[in-house]
């Protein structure tokens, strides 16, 4: 049966015609030295960049944060504490822990070199806050993290004594 002019026929490459993919491969092979040179230059630039960056170390300290108890609460009072109120409380504690007042106390006691970074986060659905300190010196990072926790605990104890008296 002779093929219809409208029916689809397989694509045949005749002599003199070029396959599109073969053309791309031919171009790539023709430019292989350029491609290789650019790849090597990018690789060397990455090695130089990362070897010149200073090492940064992160120290972490876990702090158990409990709400101050002004008196014994009933079961109903404990149930009535909203999730939003707890979230606000721990957000406030994180802000205090990483705030200027505690940072100033830490810097007065340790005299650490400038350039360290401090941040904190609450462990999900717990009363634990993890404080992170990033510094170029691993010992300084650990010392600063421990001092932040120590000052925070000391200040929290003072506030709890003040509230309950």
Contact 122, 38 (CB under 8 A): no
- Reply yes or no on whether the pLDDT at 8 is more than 90: no
Helix 100-110 vs helix 83-97: crossing angle, to nearest 10: 30
Band of the pLDDT at 48, cuts 50, 70, 90?
Answer: very high
What's the gap between Cα 106 and its chain centre?
Answer: 24
Residue range 95-147, pLDDT digits in tens? 999 999 999 999 999 999 999 999 999 999 899 999 999 999 999 999 999 99
Q: How far apart are CA 150 and CA 46, in angstroms?
A: 41
Q: How far apart are CA 82 and CA 62, in angstroms?
A: 24
What predicted TM-score, i.e. pTM, was given to this entire model? 0.64
């Amino acid at each position: 049966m002779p093929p219809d002019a409208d029916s689809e026929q397989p694509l045949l490459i005749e002599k003199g015609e070029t396959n599109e993919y073969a053309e791309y491969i031919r171009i790539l092979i023709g430019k292989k030295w350029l491609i290789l040179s650019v790849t090597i230059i990018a690789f060397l630039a990455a090695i130089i960049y990362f070897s010149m960056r200073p090492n940064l170390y992160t120290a972490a300290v876990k702090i158990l944060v409990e709400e101050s108890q002004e008196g014994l609460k009933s079961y109903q009072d404990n149930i009535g504490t909203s999730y939003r109120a707890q979230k606000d409380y721990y957000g406030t504690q994180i802000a205090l822990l990483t705030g200027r007042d505690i940072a100033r106390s830490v810097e007065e006691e340790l005299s650490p070199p400038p350039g360290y970074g401090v941040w904190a986060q609450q462990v999900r659905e717990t009363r634990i806050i993890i404080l992170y300190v990033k510094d170029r010196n691993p010992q300084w990072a650990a010392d600063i993290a421990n001092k932040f926790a120590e000052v925070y605990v000391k200040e929290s104890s003072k506030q709890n004594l003040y509230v309950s008296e």
